[in-house]
Chains A and B, each alone.
Chain A
Amino acid sequence: MDTEHPWVGREEAHGLSGADEAAILRRAQTGDPEAVGWLYDRYYPSIYRYFRIRVADQGTAEDLAAEVFVRMVAHLPRYRAQGRPFLAWLYTIARHLLTDHYRAQPRAPGALPEDPERGPGVEAFIDHLEEQARHECLWAALRRLTTEQQEVILHRFFEGRSVEETAALMGKTPNAVKALQHRALAALRRWMERLGCE
Chain B
Amino acid sequence: MRMKREPSFEEALEQCLEALRRGAGDPEALAARYPAYADRLRPLLETASRLRTVDLPPPRPEAVRRGRARVVAAARHRGVPATSRAMGGRRGWVSALLTVGLLLALLFGGGALWVRAAEASLPGDPLYGVKLLAESAELAWAERWGDPTPVLMRQIERRSLELEALQRQGRGAHPAALDRSALLLIRLARLAERHPEHPLLRERALAAVARHRAILEALAEQAPPAARPALQRALERAHRAQEILSKLPRRSPPGPSPERPRPLRPGR
Which residues of A approach B to under 8 Å, CB–CB?
28, 30-33, 36-37, 40-41, 44-45, 48-49, 52-53, 58-59, 61-63, 65-66, 69-70, 72-74, 114-118, 135, 138, 153, 156-158, 160, 163, 175, 178-179, 181-182, 185-186, 188-189, 192
Q: Is the CB of A31 within 8 A of B75?
A: yes
Point out the residues of chain B lying under 8 angstroms from A45, CB to CB: 58-59
What's the least CB distance linking B57 to chain A, in Å? 3
Q: Is the CB of B75 within 8 A of A52?
A: no
Contact present for A52 and B56 (CB under 8 Å): yes
Contact call A31/B56, Cβ cutoff below 8 A: no
The reply to whether A70 and B74 form a contact with Cβ atoms under 8 Å apart is: yes
Known contacts A33-B72, A185-B44: A116-B51 contact under CB 8 Å: no
Report the tally of A-B residue pairs with Cβ distances under 8 A.
Answer: 126
Give Cα distance in the complex from A63 to B64, angstroms.
Answer: 9
Is there contact, CB below 8 Å, between B14 and A181? Answer: yes
Please, which residues of chain A bring their CB within 8 A of the CB of B76? 31, 33
* Residue from the list B9, B17, B64 in contact with A44, Cβ < 8 A: B64
* Nearest CB of A to B56, in Å: 5
- B57 nearest CB neighbor, chain A only: A115
Residues in B neighbouring A182, C-beta threshold 8 A = 9-10, 13, 44
Interface of B with A (CB < 8 Å)? 9-11, 13-14, 17, 21, 43-44, 46-48, 50-52, 54, 56-60, 63-64, 66-68, 70-72, 74-76, 78-82, 255
Q: List 22 A-B contacts (CB under 8 A).
A: A30-B82, A31-B75, A36-B71, A36-B79, A37-B75, A41-B68, A44-B64, A48-B59, A59-B63, A62-B64, A63-B67, A66-B67, A70-B255, A117-B58, A135-B54, A138-B50, A158-B54, A163-B14, A178-B14, A182-B13, A189-B43, A189-B47
Kindly report which residue of chain B lies nearest to residue A141, judged by CB atoms: B47
**Nearest Cβ in chain B — how far from A150, in angstroms?**
12
By beta carbon, the residue of chain B nearest A160 is B21
In this complex, what residue of B is CB-closest to A185?
A: B44
- Looking at B13, B21, B79, the one whose CB has the most chain A CB atoms below 10 A away is B79
Contact A117 B72 (CB under 8 A): no
Cβ of A162 to closest chain B Cβ, rounded Å: 9
Given contacts A179-B10, A182-B9, A188-B47, contact A33 B79 (CB under 8 A): yes
Closest to B43 in A: A189
User: In the assembled complex, which residues on chain B have CB atoms less than 8 Å from the CB atom of A178?
Assistant: 10-11, 13-14
Q: Does the CB pair B67–A65 fall under 8 Å?
A: yes
Q: Which residue of A lies closest to B46 (CB)?
A: A189
CB distance from B51 to the nearest CB of A (A): 5
- A149 CA / B219 CA spacing, docked (Å): 72
Q: Are B72 and A36 in contact (CB under 8 A)?
A: yes
Q: A186 vs B44: C-alpha distance in the bound complex, in angstroms?
A: 6
